[in-house]
Structure 1
Amino acid sequence: MFACDSKLTLYLDLGDINQFRRAPLDLRKYLKYTAKLKAAYSSISNFIITERLRWTTLEPRAGPFEHPEDYKILYNDWPYALDPQITHLVCWVKFELAEDPTTNRSTPEAEKQMDDFVTRTFGNHLPEGSVVWFKNYKALKSVHDLEHFHIMLHGASESFLRAVTGGDVPMVEKVGI
């Protein structure tokens, strides 16, 4: 697993992802900025679709992870307080990642789809044990209308991050608040 951050590994192993927190100052900035976004765009989802993803349609062109226009990897705009060598990315998708209605957790098929994608996209470029991913269950999602999951990388190079995110910069750096 992720040997560099024992808290992260423990939370993921236990399925206790609600323990991830933003630093207090970052949380205040996040709340202030998202309030502005909601006022300007009526929802965080609208902002993400129009400004971050720049998607004109949410209809997928193909099956899960089959067409590059059906997913986009960006930095988490407001990452959790973790080891500074960990990069927190979000993979936004236009297709459903199925959940079991009794557990609110991803189905085995959806888990395999995400795992195969993460392995193909990141695992072949980074050392073993330096990539983890998770999908928030519904109660923890801050953006409910758009399907997405989280990817954390340890020690990824700037050039690899630029390539995989298309040169993205997290909003926390863009807005400077």
Structure 2
Amino acid sequence: MAPPAVVSADELPAELFVGKDAERVTMDDADFKLFSWAELLDIIAEAKLELLTRVPSELRRYLMWKKGAVARYGSVPNYVLEERLHWGPDPALLVPVGRGLLQDRRDYKILFNDFPYGFEDGVVHIVVWSKFRIHTIEPPTSSREKPRVEAADAAVIEDFVESTFRAPLGMAKGDVAWFKNWAVLMSIREIDHFHVLLRSPPVDGLTRGEGWTVLERIMGADDVEVRRKWGSMDARVALLGKS
């Protein structure tokens, strides 16, 4: 189900002007400040994930797409399960077969974020979906304690990000980050997932063959349009889709 190419604020139904999105959907992209890599690292470190948002034009596309997905599939989770993850509609498909989080390739999938946040060029946004629950500690908003992923699961994710993304792509530790949205921020709570951000991955190498082999091995068959989506997320490497 493809999202609309361009959506103006005038095209959005009134019921979509809600919550924190109500003001941003009417903004011009030129008035939106893209998140720098340094800002992203600070937001993740301070657990202020509520600050992350999409570029206004992308937000409008997302809201219109969401409206269509709900009308056709009943909910966004239903769409993701059936069309993106292929873990539905049969509930049995969502039952893990491995022993734990990220231990069995059949229990997780790696996809590009179809509607990434408003990051500066060069930041690639990937989502890892898991049949296993990712446990978090989420203190009440009145607490000074920061929400976080429980230590055991955080360690598993750290190892996974290192062995699956950073090491194979030959990237510096400071150029790879991950985060998990807290329950109150999740648009899809029924399927657990976390986000992986790659800053300026080695796209030059990817055009020469071996790099693409690495990336396509990472993504597997989960996202079959790897080259086109990779290139479209960064204007500087848009021609990668033609390689």
| TM-score range normalised by the length of the shorter chain | 0.7 to 0.9
> Which residue number corresponds to residue 36 of structure 1?
68
> What are the within-5 Å matches in structure 2 for residues 115-130 of structure 1?
115-125=158-168, 126-128=170-172, 129-130=174-175
Answering whether residue 134 of structure 2 is matched by residue 97 of structure 1, we say yes
Instruction: Choose between structure 1 and 2 for higher RCO, CA contacts under 8 A separated by at least 6 residues.
Output: 1
Greater Cα shift, 83-92 or 99-108: 99-108
Verify the 8 A CA contact 1:74 1:168 in the aligned structure 2: no
> What are the within-5 Å matches in structure 2 for residues 41-56 of structure 1?
41-56=73-88
Instruction: Select 1:24's aligned residue among 35, 56, 63.
Output: 56
Instruction: Select 2:96's aligned residue among 45, 60, 69.
Output: 60
Counterparts of 2:44 and 2:87 in 1: how far apart (Å)?
31
> Which residue number corresponds to residue 70 of structure 1?
107
Verify the 8 A CA contact 1:75 1:168 in the aligned structure 2: no
Q: Do the aligned partners of residues 108 and 40 (structure 1) sit closer, same or farther apart at CA in structure 2, a change above 3 Å counting?
A: same
> Which residue number corresponds to residue 179 of structure 2?
134
- Number of matched pairs: 168
Unaligned runs of 5+ in 2: 1-35, 141-146, 207-211, 233-243
Report the 3-state secondary structure (helix = DSSP H, G, I; strand = E; otherwise coil) of the residue aligned with 1:81: coil
Instruction: Select 1:162's aligned residue among 206, 213, 216.
Output: 216
Counterparts of 1:168 and 1:80 in 2: how far apart (Å)?
22
Counterparts of 2:108 and 2:71 in 1: how far apart (Å)?
27
Counterparts of 1:144 and 1:44 in 2: how far apart (Å)?
10
Verify the 8 A CA contact 1:73 1:89 in the aligned structure 2: yes
Report the 3-state secondary structure (helix = DSSP H, G, I; strand = E; otherwise coil) of the residue aligned with 2:195: strand
> Which residue number corresponds to residue 118 of structure 2?
81
Tell me how far 1:55 sits from its aligned partner: 2.0
Q: Compute the TM-score of the two structures, normalised by the length of structure 2.
A: 0.64
Verify the 8 A CA contact 1:123 1:131 in the aligned structure 2: yes
The amino acid across from 1:164 in the alignment is I
Q: Compute the TM-score of the two structures, normalised by the length of structure 1.
A: 0.87
Q: Do the aligned partners of residues 161 and 86 (structure 1) sit closer, same or farther apart at CA in structure 2, a change above 3 Å counting?
A: farther
The amino acid across from 1:153 in the alignment is L
Unaligned runs of 5+ in 1: none
Structure ranking higher in helix proportion: 2
> Which residue number corresponds to residue 5 of structure 1?
37
Greater Cα shift, 99-108 or 88-97: 99-108
Rg larger for? 2
Question: RMSD of aligned C-alpha atoms?
Answer: 1.8
Report the 3-state secondary structure (helix = DSSP H, G, I; strand = E; otherwise coil) of the residue aligned with 1:124: helix
The amino acid across from 2:198 in the alignment is L
Q: Deviations over 1:72-108 (max 9, x none)?
A: 0000010011122110000000001112354653211
> Which residue number corresponds to residue 151 of structure 1?
196
